[in-house]
Structure 1
Amino acid sequence: MDRTELLLEQYGLEPMRQHRDILKELLRSESLNEEREDNEYLKTLCILVYTYGIAEDTLQIWKAKNINFDTGCYIDGELLIGAGLEETISYLRTLKTAEAENELDYLKKLKTIGRDKVLEFYRSYYGLS
């Protein structure tokens, strides 16, 4: 069993609220891991943090998405808007930072499919349906 499978076994696709800090720390740590063999574990951490639906988490996922070209392709833009597109945009506008502006520019071009379809897709992707 690999790290991604262990992560999903331990927390599930929609982890309980009390695990948020742990998962955010795992995401932070993995984002800094220059030795990572692939991006599956990183993407899965982004998905789990996304499920909380908290706008403040968007920048952490944005940072992971922008580590390099591969993570930019591998981590779906939809994962940036766990709180919803409008709420995320409103949150980012309050920050007035270059990073928030860059993400706002990206979100303006994002075509969304909605939370239910995102979760349905990942349940299928991980064989959890």
Structure 2
Amino acid sequence: MNTRDSLQQFGLVPKDEDLPRIRDLLAHEADRERKGDGREDDLALLCCVQLFSKAMDEDVLRIWDAKSSGFDLFSSLDVQFLCGNGLQNTKNFLMKQSGEVATKALAYLKECEAAGDFEEFSAAAHLEHYRAYFGVPE
């Protein structure tokens, strides 16, 4: 599946029943990044936007896994994608998780917050930015 197909099939804000497929696509793109295989341009980005739009805590570590899978995705996937449910809610969620992955995600999130990456952040505005990026009408 490519980015255009995913956008046509699932939309920018997908239905709940489409989330498992989107999660699988994101995991597949992250695996390709880890292996150094070619990825579909913007498919991982779109998957993150789609999951971000649903603001589910269960997707925070999935998005972090994709972001931390390699240099290209680390650079191209916004840290704000972790915060569809809000910055403080995401930090609270990560603090409750056990394991090194959640600890690293929380530390990075706090670094980015201290650097000003969340000044004037709103999930709605972030989603609107990507609505324009992908050319999706309201």
Could you tell me the TM-score, scaled by structure 1's length? 0.91
**104-113 or 67-76: bigger deviation:** 104-113
On the 8 A contact 2:12/2:50 being kept in 1, the answer is: yes
Of 102, 105, 126 in structure 2, the residue corresponding to residue 118 of structure 1 is 126
User: How far is the alpha carbon of 1:74 from its aligned partner?
Assistant: 0.3
Corresponding residue of 1:61? 63
- Residues paired across the two proteins, number: 128
* Aligned residue runs from structure 1 range 65-84, under 5 A: 65-84=67-86
Percent identity, please.
Answer: 29
**Structure 2 counterpart of 1:101, one-letter code:** T
**Structure 1 segments of 4 or more deviating over 6 A?**
none
Corresponding residue of 2:30? 31
Q: Structure 1 CA distance, aligned partners of 2:134 and 2:46?
A: 10
Corresponding residue of 1:4? 3
Give the gaps of 5 or more residues in structure 2. Answer: none
Corresponding residue of 2:15? 16
On the 8 A contact 1:56/1:91 being kept in 2, the answer is: no
Q: Structure 2 CA distance, aligned partners of 1:65 and 1:42?
A: 9
Q: Structure 2 CA distance, aligned partners of 1:36 and 1:118?
A: 27
Which whole-Å deviations, capped at 9, do the CAs of 1:44-96 have from their partners, x for residues lacking one? Answer: 11111111101121111001001111111100111011121111111111113
**Structure 1 counterpart of 2:51, one-letter code:** V
Which whole-Å deviations, capped at 9, do the CAs of 1:15-63 have from their partners, x for residues lacking one? Answer: 0111111111121122112322455111111111111101121111001
On the 8 A contact 1:65/1:75 being kept in 2, the answer is: yes
Corresponding residue of 1:98? 100
Corresponding residue of 1:49? 51
Q: Structure 1 CA distance, aligned partners of 2:6 and 2:38?
A: 16
Q: Structure 1 CA distance, aligned partners of 2:106 and 2:89?
A: 12
